[in-house]
Amino acid sequence: MSDQDPFAEQRRQMVEYQIRSRDIHNEAVLAAMRKIPRERFVREADLTEAYTDHPLAIGHGQTISQPYMVALMTQELQLKKTDKVLEIGTGSGYQAAVLTELAAQVYTVERIAALSDHAREVILALGYTNVHFKVSDGTLGWPEEAPFDKIIVTAGAPSIPKSLVAQLRADGLLVIPVGDLDRQTLIVGAKQSDGSLIETSVCSCIFVKLKGKEGW
């Protein structure tokens, strides 16, 4: 197996020691993290660090999130195979690839065209066809495709964008880092039938800032 996939053992160790050994218990999430080749989503110069327990720069002032944080945010979404998911902040495409393993359709929005194009190239090369890409202001979501069952935001926001809440289906979940520029709190918002959100704080985190009309 290692001759065919030189990163297989690193991927296994990432799942066992960085993810499962902490508070990630969703077997579907663990299986997706074990399957997706993270090394395909990092810069060539960073291949030796592809499975380390920290974020990595991907250019344009953006990062690929720490593996544990990808797993945690994915677990908090409580994904079903029938879910239609909106991701804000395509970045490297790694989080989107994990989502494609667990949901029916993934719609991912990125404001930087070069990142979106590269992510599309990598994800399509891996054989995934249930992911859709858009270059736009992510804080405004993807209104033409709303409503969504789940929404995940992979950048820190000063507050939860109203446009995203509006595009979330009643009983849906929104996972987003909210706070100041230096530190945020990972929030899970559960949308109620009256349109309001019940917010639960998960943990402290640090993300690049969410830029746009309803962000920074």
Averaged pLDDT, 185-200 = 97
| Tally of domains within the chain | 1
Q: What is the pLDDT of residues 10-44, one digit of tens each?
A: 999 999 999 999 989 999 999 999 999 999 999 99
CATH of the domain at 61: 3.40.50.150
- Domain membership flag for residue 216: no
Mapping DSSP to helix (H, G, I), strand (E, B) and coil, where does residue 81 land? coil
- From the CB of residue 216, how many other CB atoms can be counted at a distance below 10 Å? 14
What CA–CA distance (Å, rounded) separates 95 from 77?
A: 12
- Domain membership flag for residue 82: yes
Averaged pLDDT, 171-200 = 97
**What percentage of the chain exceeds 70 in pLDDT?**
99
Q: What is the pLDDT of residues 107-164, one digit of tens each?
A: 999 999 999 999 999 999 999 999 999 999 999 999 999 999 999 999 999 999 999 9
Tokens at 114, concatenated: 């070069």
- Domain membership flag for residue 187: yes
From 2, 21, 65, 196, active-site residue: 65
Query: Does residue 3 register a pLDDT over 60?
Result: no
Q: Give the model's pLDDT for residue 215.
A: 97
Which range marks the domain in which residue 180 is found?
A: 8-205
What CA–CA distance (Å, rounded) separates 35 from 101?
A: 9
Phi, psi of 165 (to 5 degrees): -60, -40
Burial 171-208 (b: 16+ CB within 10 A, else e): ebbbbbbbbeeeebebbbbbbeeeeebeeeebeebebb
Averaged pLDDT, 178-197 = 97
- From the CB of residue 48, how many other CB atoms can be counted at a distance below 10 Å? 10
Q: Are 29 and 18 in contact (CB under 8 A)?
A: no
Q: Are 81 and 103 in contact (CB under 8 A)?
A: yes
Q: Are 107 and 82 in contact (CB under 8 A)?
A: no
Q: Give the model's pLDDT for residue 59.
A: 95
Average per-residue pLDDT for the chain: 96
- For the chain, state the CA radius of gyration: 16
- Domain membership flag for residue 29: yes
Q: Give the model's pLDDT for residue 2.
A: 43
Residue 136 appears among annotated catalytic residues: no
- Domain membership flag for residue 188: yes
Q: Give the model's pLDDT for residue 4.
A: 80
Which residue(s) pair with 63 in the sheet? 57
Of 41, 70, 61, 47, residue with least CA distance to 152: 70
Residue with tokens 């993270």: 38
- Domain membership flag for residue 212: no
Of 157, 175, 146, residue with least CA distance to 78: 175
- Domain membership flag for residue 215: no
Q: Give the model's pLDDT for residue 48.
A: 93
Query: Does residue 76 register a pLDDT over 60?
Result: yes
Mapping DSSP to helix (H, G, I), strand (E, B) and coil, where does residue 125 land? helix
What CA–CA distance (Å, rounded) separates 38 from 182?
A: 26
- Domain membership flag for residue 181: yes
